[in-house]
């Protein structure tokens, strides 16, 4: 053993002499800066490779090129000037309208007379009946009766707030029933769902998605200890996921759709890593009206033990009824294994007042991560299930009234008309250069052109 240590020490001595002899030919400052420069280069290279991995080589090169171009004297100022022209053009039409807008309270109130001014303002809005796409989901002369019913329901509960359920028990019941009825439409009574579907009403599809992402992030942190979360979406997925990524400090990976304009399962699988908390699917996607391969995505999520959210904000109150009408609708809800959360809007084809959506979870274990409880506040215990604290009970009451007044037969009839109209549009194109993008499953019909625009 002593011979071994003696030989090792002799080796170290010879190595030290040789190293010092070699390094003696360099200046001390160079020896200090060389490793520092190496670290800087390695860091820059690592950052560049990370960007290439996230955005792809093509997008990275384009980004570097554009950044380099802006460094050329005069180019940045030219770009800024062109941007300002666009801003000025956009604002030119609205500046004159704003000149009569009020900026302070009137000295003496107008009383009920203000309603006449409001009616006049409403009459100056765009005439959207039969002329507006993707903005209003109810129209026609027969809708007036439904509008009146919803308005009366909302007025009855105008000052209610489900944050205080001990006072406003009625809207608490309405919310629970709206959630339960919607869950029933989306497979809650099917054995495959697990029988624990639960959720809450929100202000819209974006908030529903925000909550689903936040909940998935916190659930996966508890389940897998993930502290640098990432989620993977198809490029056709709603912009709300981008907002969620910014809000909740989640790395967002966007994947191109396949040739059928559906989420590319193979490409999504390639992007899954140890930090992935969730993948998403749309039923249908807003750009093309095409349903992503929900079953395949569910299997993928289940195999990796990650969350899978299905955006049904557009299809939640159409697809269940379209299936009953005989349309070939692929699986999209909680009957699909692997689906952990779903969002759907009651204020779209549910025909409820604007500001009503629902987020659902497969079980209570997942949903509990949506809630925020503050126990240290001097004002007492504060618990809030959604992004908002106080919520308008009037909208909850309006959603309940809409669903109860229409019933299954009402939604079936609406769906029949909606699907027939969309298929009519799909078949009715007469311009030869136009083509339908993909094969729409629902009410969105997207067109493309084979002719290049000049």
Which two tokens mark 46? 């690592």
**Do 317 and 435 share a domain, yes or no?**
no
Domain membership flag for residue 278: yes
181 and 201 in contact (C-beta within 8 Å)?
no
Same domain, 306 and 425: no
Asked whether residue 346 is assigned to any structural domain, the reply reads yes
Residue 280 sits in the same domain as residue 161: yes
Residue 70, domain member (yes or no): no
Domain that holds residue 442: 407-449
pLDDT tens figures, 373-383: 999 999 988 88
Paired strand residues for 341: 309, 361
* Residue 259: band (very low, low, confident or very high) from pLDDT cuts 50, 70, 90: very high
Split at pLDDT 50, 70, 90, the class of 95 is low
What CATH number is given to the structural domain containing 294?
3.40.640.10
pLDDT tens readout for residues 25-63:
878 887 788 888 888 898 888 887 877 776 677 778 888
Judgement on whether residues 324 and 419 belong to the same structural domain of the protein: no
- The 3-state secondary structure of the chain reads CHHHHHHHHHHHHHHHHHHHHHHCCCCHHHHHHHHHHHHHHHHHHHHHHHHHHHHCHHHHHHHHHHHHHHCCCCHHHHHHHHHHHHHHHHHHHHHHHHCCCCCCCCCCCCHHHHHHHHHHHHHCCCCCCCCCCCCCCCCCCCHHHHHHHHHHHHHHCCCCCCCCCCCCHHHHHHHHHHHHHHHHHCCCCCHHHCCCCEEEEECCHHHHHHHHHHHHHHHHHHHHCCCCCEEEEECCCCCHHHHHHHHCCCEEEEECECCCCCECHHHHHHHCCCCEEEEEEECCCCCCCCCCCHHHHHHHHHHHCCEEEEECCCCCCCHHHHHHCCCCCCCCCCCCCCCCEEEEECCCCCCCCCCCEEEEECCHHHHHHHCEEECCCCCCCEEECCCCCCCCHHHHHHHHHHHHHHHHHHHHHHHHHHHHHHHHHHHCCCCCCEEECCCCCCCCCCEEECCCCC
The separation between CA 300 and the C-alpha centre of its own chain, rounded to angstroms, equals 20
In a domain, residue 20? The reply is no
Average pLDDT, rounded, for the chain: 90
- Is 91 domain-assigned? no
Establish if 107 belongs to a structural domain: no
pLDDT at 63: 80
Do 339 and 395 share a domain, yes or no? yes
Residue 182, domain member (yes or no):
yes
The mean pLDDT of 85-105, rounded to a whole number, is 76
Q: What is the pLDDT of residue 219?
A: 98
- Amino acid 100: pLDDT: 79
How much of the chain, in percent, has pLDDT values that exceed 90?
60
Residue 266 sits in the same domain as residue 217: yes
Co-location of 399 and 420 in the same domain? no
| pLDDT at residue 295, rounded to an integer | 98
What is the arithmetic mean of pLDDT over 316-336?
Answer: 96
Query: Do 398 and 416 have their domain in common?
Result: no
Q: How many CB atoms lie within 10 A of CB 181?
A: 18
What is the per-residue pLDDT across 154-181, written as a single tens digit (0 to 9) for each?
999 999 999 998 999 999 999 999 999 9
Asked whether the predicted pLDDT for residue 362 surpasses 70, the reply is yes
pLDDT digits (tens, 9 = 90+) for 278-295: 999 999 999 999 999 999
- My answer on whether 178 and 254 are in the same domain is yes
Report for 58-62, 339-343, 413-417, 434-438: range of highest mean pLDDT:
339-343
Residue 94, pLDDT > 80, answer no
Mean pLDDT of 140-157: 88
Which phi and psi (to 5°) does residue 286 adopt? -65, -40
Total domains in the chain come to: 2
Same domain? 290 vs 422: no
* Of 204-208, 239-243, 429-433, minimum mean pLDDT range: 429-433
Which tens digits make up the pLDDT trace of 389-402?
Answer: 999 999 999 999 99
Q: Does 428 share its domain with 292? A: no
Give domain status of residue 69, yes or no. no
Count of beta carbons in the 10 Å neighbourhood of residue 388: 13
> Do 276 and 365 share a domain, yes or no?
yes
């Amino acid at each position: 053993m002593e011979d071994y240590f003696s030989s090792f020490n002799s080796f170290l001595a010879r190595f030290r002499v040789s190293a010092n002899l070699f390094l003696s030919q360099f200046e001390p400052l160079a020896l200090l800066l060389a490793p520092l420069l190496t670290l800087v280069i390695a860091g820059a290279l690592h950052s560049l490779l990370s960007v290439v991995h996230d955005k792809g080589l093509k997008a990275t090169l384009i980004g570097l090129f554009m950044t380099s171009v802006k460094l050329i004297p005069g180019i940045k100022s030219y770009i800024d000037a062109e941007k300002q022209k666009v801003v000025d053009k956009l604002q030119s039409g609205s500046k004159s309208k704003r000149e009569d807008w009020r900026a302070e309270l009137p000295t003496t109130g107008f009383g009920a007379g203000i309603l006449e001014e409001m009616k006049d303002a409403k009459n100056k809005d765009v005439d959207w009946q039969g002329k507006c796409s993707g903005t209003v989901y109810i129209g026609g002369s027969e809708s007036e009766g439904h509008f009146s019913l919803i308005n009366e329901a909302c007025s009855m509960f105008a000052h209610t707030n489900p944050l205080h359920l001990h006072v406003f028990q009625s809207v608490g019941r309405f919310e629970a029933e709206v959630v339960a009825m919607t869950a029933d439409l989306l497979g809650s009574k099917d054995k495959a769902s697990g029988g624990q579907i639960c959720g809450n009403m929100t202000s819209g599809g974006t908030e529903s998605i925000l909550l689903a992402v936040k909940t998935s992030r916190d659930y996966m942190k508890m389940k897998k200890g993930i502290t640098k979360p990432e989620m993977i979406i198809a490029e056709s997925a709603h912009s709300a996921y981008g907002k969620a990524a910014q809000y909740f400090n989640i790395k967002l990976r966007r994947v191109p759709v396949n040739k059928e304009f559906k989420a590319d399962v193979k490409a999504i699988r390639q992007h899954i890593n140890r930090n992935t908390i969730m993948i998403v699917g749309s039923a249908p996607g807003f750009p093309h009206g095409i349903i992503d391969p929900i079953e395949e995505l569910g299997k993928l999520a289940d195999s990796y033990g990650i969350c899978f959210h299905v955006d049904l904000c557009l299809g939640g109150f159409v697809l269940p009824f379209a299936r009953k009408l005989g349309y070939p609708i692929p699986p999209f809800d909680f009957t699909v294994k692997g689906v952990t959360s779903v969002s759907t809007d009651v204020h779209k084809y549910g025909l409820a007042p604007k500001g009503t959506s629902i987020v659902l979870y497969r079980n209570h274990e997942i949903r509990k991560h949506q809630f925020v409880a503050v126990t240290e506040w001097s004002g007492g215990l504060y618990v809030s299930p959604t992004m908002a604290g106080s919520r308008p009970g009037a909208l909850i009451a309006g959603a309940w009234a809409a669903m109860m007044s229409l019933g299954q037969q009402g939604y079936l009839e609406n769906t029949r008309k909606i699907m027939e109209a969309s298929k009519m549009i799909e078949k009715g194109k007469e311009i030869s250069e136009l083509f339908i993008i993909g094969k729409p499953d629902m009410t969105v019909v997207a067109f493309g052109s084979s002719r290049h625009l000049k």
